A and B are shown apart, each in its own frame.
Chain A
């Protein structure tokens, strides 16, 4: 029984590890060490609740929800640093190949409050609807819209309206 549980967990986790790690990298604005930590913590929580996870309609979405909440719980521990700051270092120049793209975007994401960043990642990376995002974050849809508007406004300021060099042809 226990062996089967472990095997099922391992199969699921192996299939999802890459994607969850990428999500975690975006949530942490490129802090890959923290991202690894968050993914392990997420898997730990999933392991404990494996019975429920395996019966969930969409275990992958469930895992993403746990990751997001784990991230926000982590950020709450460091809430004094959570607020966006104007003293962040200058953004790297855009358009010099892939590395600057990543750095520029990550630096811009890092300037968003954690919850706004979570909204952005869920909406634009996970393609979740406003309502789904609201469910993950346990807030109202109105709050998600508000945060999204605010976050995009800030990103527009930081990245420039054009973002031209980042878009695919």
Chain B
């Protein structure tokens, strides 16, 4: 059956209605989407470099240059709960002298300007605290000596965490060339790094980039960057140095107003107190790792999936060739009991189990898929399938999968999965 024809009349009607509705949306300014994307792309390239500068692999947060980009796991409550661990002595979200206060876009710009020396402003952009993305302000500042881009952002992080240490530690000069960098603990316990470096690490253009990073004991993270050009990239140098001295950078980032901004940011949702795992709540790669630990000893793992949330696969070999094993571990699936486990076996603890031998789901010739599907009383579903081929879309390479139905069942019922939930 072609994919876009459905047996169910409702499905057909819905598909038609969805297409009609979707076709009705028109972008007001498609060109702005394209340009906006390009601008973000360029800034992402900067972020990558900044990630190296901060000594952080893969994640970085810079609130400059207009749009602030948030690595998805910085605010992820599950990530926070896993990463913060017992070392977290302060709840970053508790740094709140006045939680009812909020900061608009204009408030952000005004707060920044109040801390700046005399001068004129242009190209102002900002985001207040009403968004799920962190607040920031950026502008082009001119004290009469030449226009300079400048941007500040506020975020929260675990003050005792590795990330906080990385943001406020001077990078290795072997990795990043810079003129000067200091990192020190302030009288209030905050960590402050002041760095005078260059926009382009290879100095192909002599744009200077000066940066201050502050993390307070309450977990407020303030980032300030400035350049000696009206844009961080692709603009000619307009003055010998960026406008604010190291001392002035410090004055701006340590101002109390940013603590109030941080307090006004939306609270990160707390991990569920009921113990129910949120969807995709497991650390990256945890499922594949647990699965490997549950495999019979005669199997060798020859391939595995990348980090995924609730899904993983392995390719295993018992000496007769590769066999794909895929697994899904999903919380909160109780509502499926009626649909998928109608004729299931019920174990004494209430867990439902089914096993099934079926043809493969993809195009591979003679491919079979053996599946054990389980649903715990708490809604945790573990479903595992094994194939007689190392890749589903390829033809069968062996008679049967490398795991028997009984072995699949045993793996799916392992209490290891409950431990991860």
Contact = CB atoms under 8 A, between A and B. Distances in A.
Interface string A150-163: 10100110010111
A164 B309 CA distance: 38
B37 to A, nearest CB: 2
B311 A140 contact: yes
Contacts of B361: 130-131, 141-142
Contacts of B44: 44-45, 47-48
Interface in A74-90: 74, 76-80, 82
A22 B25 contact: yes
A45 B15 CA distance: 29
Contacts of A105: 17-18, 21
B258 to A, nearest CB: 21
Contact of A152 (B8, B16, B24): B8
B72 interface: yes
Contacts of B42: 47
B342 interface: no
Interface string B150-189: 0000000000000000000000000000000000000000
B38 A13 contact: yes
Nearest to B17: A166
A18 B371 contact: no
A75 to B, nearest CB: 10
B385 A142 contact: yes
Main secondary structure on chain A at its contact with chain B? helix
A149 B335 CA distance: 11
B280 A76 contact: yes
A45 B37 CA distance: 8
Interface residues of A, number: 72
B81 to A, nearest CB: 12
Contacts of A127: 3-4
B27 A77 contact: no
Nearest to B281: A79
A139 B333 CA distance: 15
B20 A48 contact: no
A102 B24 CA distance: 8
Nearest to A36: B33
Interface in A87-126: 98, 101-102, 105-106, 113, 115, 120-121, 123-125
B14 A44 contact: no
A36 to B, nearest CB: 6
B23 interface: yes
B15 A124 contact: yes
B296 interface: no
Interface in A37-71: 39-48, 50
Given A127-B4, A163-B13, A21 B27 contact: yes
Contacts of B76: 76-77
A26 interface: yes
> Which of B33, B77, B340 has the largest number of chain A CB atoms within 10 A?
B33
B3 A129 contact: yes
Interface in B39-58: 39-45, 48
A43 B67 CA distance: 14
Contacts of B37: 13, 39-44, 46-47
Given A44-B44, A79-B278, A131-B361, A155 B330 contact: no
Interface of B: 3-4, 8, 10-27, 30-31, 33-34, 36-45, 48, 67, 69-70, 72, 75-78, 132, 269, 278-280, 308-311, 326-328, 330, 333, 335-336, 339-340, 361-362, 371, 373, 383, 385, 392
Interface of A: 6, 9-10, 13-14, 17-18, 20-23, 25-26, 32, 35-36, 39-48, 50, 73-74, 76-80, 82, 98, 101-102, 105-106, 113, 115, 120-121, 123-125, 127-131, 138-143, 146, 149-150, 152, 155-156, 159, 161-164, 166-168
17 contacts: A17-B27, A36-B36, A43-B38, A44-B39, A48-B44, A76-B76, A101-B17, A102-B24, A105-B18, A140-B311, A140-B383, A140-B385, A143-B383, A146-B336, A150-B336, A150-B339, A155-B14
Given A43-B37, A106-B21, 7 more contacts: A42-B37, A76-B280, A79-B78, A131-B392, A142-B373, A146-B339, A167-B12
